[in-house]
Copies of this chain bind each other. A is one copy, B any other.
Amino acid sequence: MSGRQRKVVCITELRQACRTCSLQELCLPMGLAAEDIQRLESIVGHKGPLERGRHLFREGDPFQSIYAVRDGALKTYSIDADGREHVLGFHLPGELLGLDAIYPRVNRCSAVALSNASVCVLPYDRLSDLAHEVSGLQSQIFRLLSKDLSISANLATDHTAEERLAGFLISIAARSGAGTELKLVMPRRDIASYLRLATETVSRLLARFQQEGYVEVHRKNLQLLNVEGLRRLGGSFELTGLASAIRRPLRG
């Protein structure tokens, strides 16, 4: 609503956001030539600041744009027939939202800010047109869609609560790129919903992980003390979509 016109720097800042995280190759403008980035800049809009609790879009909205997080964090969720909320994903700086709406042309989930956030707005039709002309962009969109597919498929497999939570912590650490010290912006309830656990289970497991020396938790502040150990606990439960990326040391 408010600052929808500061276009020139949006993609550039987005790249900046990607650089701070260890998974740079997941960034939309990754690998594009300077002039192509310029063209991408020319079609994107900017939205923000979006304060905590505000919605970026809602389930049922007609699909027009996908979004890239520049700053802050958002979650996507849907409400099922019984009125229960299911958290579908957390979106940190550099990551995309709204890809699952391309097919049905209607948003299948809602997106809300977990902290004050700002996003790039990528009008789908224009992005799609541009992807025709800029080869690297098309490939990158294919790759990003494909990546989300891997994550989601893995999330769908059968794992214990311990594996889920350990994998989740590793994933958040890798994606936030802040080394071993990180802030859990999302409440326990949302983590639980995302991992399909009860809030109490998340709480108990965090307590156990702490007791066993894997982490130090205090409220939203979390310090990883034994990343290798957590990774072992996580087993085959991976949420980054790229085994190799997570295998290299954090703070890459």
Contact = CB atoms under 8 A, between A and B. Distances in A.
Contacts of A1: none
Interface in A226-252: 235-236, 241-244
B138 A149 contact: no
Q: What's the number of copies of this chain in the assembled complex?
A: 2
B242 A104 contact: yes
Interface stretch (A5-13, A113-121, A139-147, A179-187): A139-147
A174 to B, nearest CB: 15
Given A152-B152, A236-B80, A146 B102 contact: yes
B150 A104 contact: yes
A61 to B, nearest CB: 15
A2 interface: no
B86 A157 contact: yes
Given A80-B235, A156-B156, A235-B82, A128 B132 contact: no
Contacts of A156: 88, 152, 155-156, 196
A82 B128 CA distance: 42
A131 B128 CA distance: 11
A143 B102 contact: yes
A153 B88 contact: yes
Contact of A132 (B104, B135, B244): B135
Interface of A: 80-82, 86, 88-89, 99-104, 108, 128, 131-133, 135, 138-139, 141-150, 152-153, 155-158, 196, 235-236, 241-244
Given A132-B132, A157-B196, 13 more contacts: A81-B235, A81-B236, A86-B158, A102-B142, A104-B146, A104-B244, A108-B150, A128-B138, A128-B139, A131-B138, A132-B133, A152-B152, A156-B196
